[in-house]
Structure 1
Amino acid sequence: MKVTLLLYYLLSFFLVYYLERTIHVRPHTKCNWSNWERWPHEAKPFHVALVADPQIVDNGTYSYPRPLLRLVQFIADQFLFRHWRYLHKKLKPDLTIIMGDLMDTGREFNRDEWKQDLERFNRIFDFNAAEHVEVYPGNHDIGFGEKTYYEKIKTFESIYGPTSRSVIAGNHTLALVDGIRLSNTLSPDVYGKPRSYLDFFNKDKESSSPAILFGHVPLYRPDGTSCGKLREQKDTISFGYGYQYQNVLSKELSEKILKDVMPIAAFAGDDHDYCEVVHSYTDDYGSVKEVPEYNVKAFAMTSGIRRPGYQLLSLYYVHEEGKAPSESYQTQLCLLPDQIAIYVFYGLCSLLLFAVVTYHTNKHFQKSGRLLPLYHTQAQNRRANPRYHYKSILHKSFKQFTFLTWPAVLFFLVLNVFSV
């Protein structure tokens, strides 16, 4: 019996460790740069990690009772916390770009609420764990188009810098273009700086290194355009809009951005799921150019997809070798675990264990039962009642179940408190 119990505890510890450590570390190890990069042997590429739509759960996300909301926040925060650290501990990118939607309802917050959730965001996404981090906003941070909040823009820019800017990385120009503000046509305060940035970039693009476009909202594509086999949900991103959001940028704006930036590739967030399409545009000389765009999966487990993820980007371009810009980048999708499936598995294991314990408890009660005397006392009558019999079995089963599970539960809590 003691040997069986010891084996059970060892198995439960192994299972918890596998589900709380191994299964979370493995995706990052699997995505190691050397596993998918195909550069010349002497190459020293520049490594970029793209993290989209963390969208931390806040007080406006769900209309749950407060205790349940706090539990969901804790679970969702722990998922983001551990994978942000595993990403940087295992892969050590030279640059990490957070591609907007830092909070879920940040655009609705007053300054105090926004500051409070920003502090929480900074605890989850500790920039000290990364080499270099660039951040630009999403529609959940500053609104969209005509409904963009200029006050939110000013607050965001005071912390993270201009929402449209260039970052030089690996002999490439990473063009962070704020399509959200460019979609505004009513307020010069909103659209002015992004338009000036595009005009400046357009004038300087001939002498610049290969450009890669980054934005929060994807570029326009005709309805029915396939996203490819790596997409988890329905196959397309169709044009749609609603309160403070729009699925894709307008056709006119998308063409202008592509023509001004002339990127060799584009990356976007917002949709939460992966999508890979090829856009066409005509440059200043009348030539038709094609640009692949990659929609980065959401990083959060609460984003409506089963497998969150992030994108890796490897850059290698040497001017003197005359390497074609189209060959100067490689990219890889990295999938994170299905956290919901892990919790479902925990639940099924618990139900199975409780059923086994109850079965053996019931057998024990049946074996230890005695013939009742002819004249029953009040206590004997109570014990002979089927309802009392079943309550006793359940009570004893629950005590035995608690005895069997508390070490594993304690181990689970320790692994979650010390997430990395």
Structure 2
Amino acid sequence: MAVVSLSIVHTFSWRKRSTFALILLSVILSVFVFCEFLIYYIVIIQCQWPQLKSQSSTASKQTPDSILKAMFLSDTHLLGQVNGHWLDKLRREWQMERAFQTALWLLQPEIVFILGDAFDEGKWSSSEAWSDDVRRFQKMFRHSADTELIVIVGNHDIGFHYEMTAFKLGRFLKVFNFTSEKLITRKGINFVTVNSIALEGDGCMICKEAEAKLTELSHRLNCSLQDQSQYQKRCSGVDIPPASAPILLQHYPLYRESDSKCTGDDSAPPDKKNDLFREKYDVLSREASQKLLWWFHPRLILSGHTHSACEVLHNRRTPEISIPSFSWRNRNNPSFIMGSITSADFSLYKCFLPFEITVITVYCIAGTVLVVLILARFQPHISPVHFVQRLITKYKAL
């Protein structure tokens, strides 16, 4: 009889332990799924494609088929073999992959532009390291045939001007089919992609070729906007694109003194806003900036590089938007830009990604709850309330 009673007690105790273990496992899995999967859907599903300006004279004439849904992001900085710790790489690449794939599934953009610095160590990586970086990039930013991905070159992809070589530029062009100073036309909308590292103005071979292509593109676009009856001879034999003012896409921002006038939660930190920018390093030179404005008279400029957001109005009429880094390694609050664009109008919306501090807080709270549950189960003489109070006191002391 005693043996039977002990067996029943042991079975009951085993079932209690199993139930408790299942509860702990359920909590752990729930928190993990929320922080690593669901949070991206919860945040990004709140983003919507912006409506075109109602006051536009052409907006009412636009049909859904004439509106291009474009997504813009920048500075993904995939870590390489030298500076990238394996755990840091694993974490950051997982975050960017989940954010990008979730955005594609929920928002279904027609075209995605990455405005430079896709890689962190392209400026010095060996052929083997470069191939590994490309493989990981293509896995993270995979997309269906319904979405077009265009990657623009940045200084970390091929190096600053003094590090840039034809070999580094060539391998980037080969992988991404990116041709410097290229005109991309979709639905009558003209995008001009610029290799801003080549706008040094020192007469280097790559720089001369870049400027020659830009002047040729400028001529083509100007011909498209002119009265052909008056400029027939000048534009004879020119491959004329649709008559639409272009959108400039580049890595370096146009020249500005600093980020002192930039506003918003994702602008530069207060202690960095007044730091003066260096020409040809932080921003384009004054000369190169004026050339681009004069050549193209763009209706919009999108850039990256600074890792912080900024909106600037050049010559009192041309807006430029600097897009923050897409990587949580560079920001607590990454974001991307959604654009509804036609040949005559555009409207932009900034979609923020989950804050890193939010994920960390959830993990910390869940960890505390687990510790309290374990103490309550195996150390009943220790008060969970007292334990939590001690944790709060220690946290405040920090």
Bin of the TM-score, shorter chain as denominator length: 0.7 to 0.9
Q: TM-score, normalised by structure 1?
A: 0.73
Q: Does 1:240 align with 2:260?
A: no
Q: Does 1:299 align with 2:329?
A: no
Residue 353 of structure 1 deviates from its aligned partner by: 2.7
Aligned pair in 2 of structure 1 residues 340, 60: CA closer, same or farther (>3 Å)?
farther
In structure 1, C-alpha distance between the alignment counterparts of 2:25 and 2:137, rounded to whole Å: 37
Give matches, 1:215-254, under 5 Å: 215-223=250-258, 225-234=260-269, 236=273, 238-241=275-278, 246-254=281-289
**Residues 393-415 of structure 1: CA distance to partner in whole angstroms, max 9, x if unpaired?**
xxxxxxxxxxxxxxxxxxxxxxx
Amino acid at match of 1:51: L
Amino acid at match of 1:133: L
Residue 49 of structure 2: which of 24, 29, 33 is its match?
A: 33
Residue 42 of structure 1 deviates from its aligned partner by: 5.6
Give matches, 1:182-331, under 5 Å: 182-183=199-200, 185-188=202-205, 190-206=206-222, 207=224, 208-223=243-258, 225-234=260-269, 236=273, 238-241=275-278, 246-280=281-315, 290-303=317-330, 305-317=331-343, 325=344, 328-331=345-348
In structure 1, stretches of 5+ residues that fail to align are 63-68, 281-288, 318-324, 367-420
Q: Which moved more, 1:94-103 or 1:39-48?
A: 39-48
* Greater RCO structure (CA 8 Å; 6+ sep): 2
Residue 83 of structure 1 deviates from its aligned partner by: 1.5
- Secondary structure, counterpart of 1:192 in structure 2: helix
Instruction: Say whether the 8 Å CA contact 2:79–2:89 is kept in structure 1.
Output: yes
Instruction: Say whether the 8 Å CA contact 1:313–1:330 is kept in structure 2.
Output: yes
- Secondary structure, counterpart of 1:257 in structure 2: helix
Aligned pair in 2 of structure 1 residues 35, 172: CA closer, same or farther (>3 Å)?
closer
Amino acid at match of 1:276: E
In structure 2, C-alpha distance between the alignment counterparts of 1:79 and 1:41, rounded to whole Å: 40
Residue 32 of structure 1 deviates from its aligned partner by: 2.2
Residue 76 of structure 2: which of 44, 54, 57 is its match?
A: 54
Partner of 1:87: 103
In structure 2, C-alpha distance between the alignment counterparts of 1:130 and 1:57, rounded to whole Å: 28
Aligned pair in 2 of structure 1 residues 222, 70: CA closer, same or farther (>3 Å)?
closer
In structure 1, C-alpha distance between the alignment counterparts of 2:274 and 2:51, rounded to whole Å: 30
In structure 1, C-alpha distance between the alignment counterparts of 2:190 and 2:353, rounded to whole Å: 29
In structure 1, C-alpha distance between the alignment counterparts of 2:146 and 2:335, rounded to whole Å: 18
Residue 40 of structure 1 deviates from its aligned partner by: 3.7
Aligned pair in 2 of structure 1 residues 56, 129: CA closer, same or farther (>3 Å)?
farther
Partner of 1:114: 130
Q: Which moved more, 1:195-204 or 1:229-238?
A: 229-238
**Residues 229-249 of structure 1: CA distance to partner in whole angstroms, max 9, x if unpaired?**
24343364754359xx82111
Give matches, 1:104-183, under 5 Å: 104-128=120-144, 131-159=147-175, 160-183=177-200
Instruction: Say whether the 8 Å CA contact 2:307–2:324 is kept in structure 1.
Output: yes
In structure 1, C-alpha distance between the alignment counterparts of 2:149 and 2:40, rounded to whole Å: 22
In structure 2, C-alpha distance between the alignment counterparts of 1:223 and 1:241, rounded to whole Å: 9
**Residues 263-293 of structure 1: CA distance to partner in whole angstroms, max 9, x if unpaired?**
001000111121111111xxxxxxxx62110
Give matches, 1:73-84, under 5 Å: 73-84=89-100
Aligned pair in 2 of structure 1 residues 185, 32: CA closer, same or farther (>3 Å)?
same
Q: TM-score, normalised by structure 2?
A: 0.77
In structure 2, C-alpha distance between the alignment counterparts of 1:130 and 1:348, rounded to whole Å: 41
Aligned pair in 2 of structure 1 residues 336, 237: CA closer, same or farther (>3 Å)?
farther
Instruction: Say whether the 8 Å CA contact 1:145–1:185 is kept in structure 2.
Output: no
Instruction: Say whether the 8 Å CA contact 1:219–1:248 is kept in structure 2.
Output: yes
Partner of 2:7: none
Structure showing the higher helix proportion among its residues: 1
In structure 2, C-alpha distance between the alignment counterparts of 1:272 and 1:216, rounded to whole Å: 11
In structure 1, C-alpha distance between the alignment counterparts of 2:178 and 2:382, rounded to whole Å: 70
Residue 176 of structure 1 deviates from its aligned partner by: 0.7
Q: Taking every aligned residue pair, what percent have the same amino acid on both sides?
A: 22
**Residues 307-358 of structure 1: CA distance to partner in whole angstroms, max 9, x if unpaired?**
11111111123xxxxxxx4xx0111111111235413431343144324533
Partner of 2:386: none
- Secondary structure, counterpart of 2:144 in structure 1: helix
Aligned pair in 2 of structure 1 residues 267, 42: CA closer, same or farther (>3 Å)?
closer
